[in-house]
């Protein structure tokens, strides 16, 4: 081993030892307080300088402590990482403060489109339109702008852009993976079912107009 290699190892060791290690739980709280997105176990362990196992144990202890003391916030593992959230029972208070009484909610059309994407992903706009029975181009742009939906490549057969839900979507609904979504997918109609329904409607005889029925009744009298 050369002298230069020994000097490099000495410098690296010295730099590592110079990093001060604060008490684990307060250190985790300090890092999580300034995080703008969920942080996974490994990232937090690197930030505070503790082994991953100890970090996970400390995080779970913080969760239990916050729950026991009834704090207005909670620490949750969502979308593959840890982050602070307002407790559900205090959401109205925070909404009033942040939104000043105004609700920034998705429209019914956007919610329906988002549900189709969530359960049918990766899915093209045309297929979402077929399932919903209306054009969804504008709604999809809204979902993309809000970061709830993202592109997921192209369809090999048609070349159409495919879309899927984002990690931000998981974060917003409070789950760690799509496997935690309710089992609703089997009940959503597919494109084939939609086309069959259209054929049935097209072949069915037209229902008599209400005005025609009234006129017929009058004539019989």
Would the pTM of this model clear 0.85, i.e. be above it? no
Average pLDDT over the chain, rounded to whole? 77
Residue of 84, 24, 86 lying closest to 50 (CA atoms):
24
State the pLDDT at residue 156: 87
The whole-angstrom separation of Cα 155 and Cα 191 is 15
State the pLDDT at residue 31: 94
- With b for 16 or more beta-carbon neighbours within 10 A and e for fewer, the 37-49 pattern comes to ebbebebbbebbe
Residue 15 clears pLDDT 50, i.e. is over it: no
Q: Both tokens of residue 105?
A: 């909610």
State the pLDDT at residue 210: 41
Structure-model confidence comparison of residues 184 and 209, the more confident one: 184
The percent of residues above 70 in pLDDT, for the chain, comes to 70
Residue of 180, 173, 174 lying closest to 106 (CA atoms):
173
Residue 183 clears pLDDT 50, i.e. is over it: yes
- Least confident among 37-51, 93-107, 191-205: 191-205
């Amino acid at each position: 081993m050369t002298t230069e290699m020994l000097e490099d190892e000495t410098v690296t060791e010295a730099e590592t030892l110079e990093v001060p290690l604060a008490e684990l739980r307060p250190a985790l709280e300090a890092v999580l307080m300034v995080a703008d997105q969920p942080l996974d176990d490994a990232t937090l362990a690197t930030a505070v300088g503790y082994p991953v196992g100890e970090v996970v144990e400390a995080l779970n202890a913080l969760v239990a402590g916050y729950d026991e003391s009834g704090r207005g916030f909670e620490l949750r593992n969502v979308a593959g990482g840890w982050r602070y959230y307002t407790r559900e029972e205090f959401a109205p208070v925070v909404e009033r403060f942040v939104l000043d009484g105004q609700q920034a909610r998705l429209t019914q059309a956007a919610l329906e489109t988002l549900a189709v994407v969530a359960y049918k992903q990766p899915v093209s706009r045309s297929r979402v339109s077929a399932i919903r029975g209306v054009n969804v181009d504008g709604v999809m742009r809204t979902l993309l702008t809000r970061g709830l939906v993202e592109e997921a490549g192209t369809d090999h057969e048609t070349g159409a852009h495919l879309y899927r839900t984002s990690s931000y979507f998981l974060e917003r609904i409070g789950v760690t993976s799509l496997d935690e979504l309710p089992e609703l997918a089997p009940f959503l109609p597919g494109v084939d079912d939609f086309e069959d329904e259209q054929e049935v409607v097209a072949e069915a005889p037209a229902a008599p107009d209400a005005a025609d029925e009234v006129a017929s009744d009058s004539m019989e009298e």
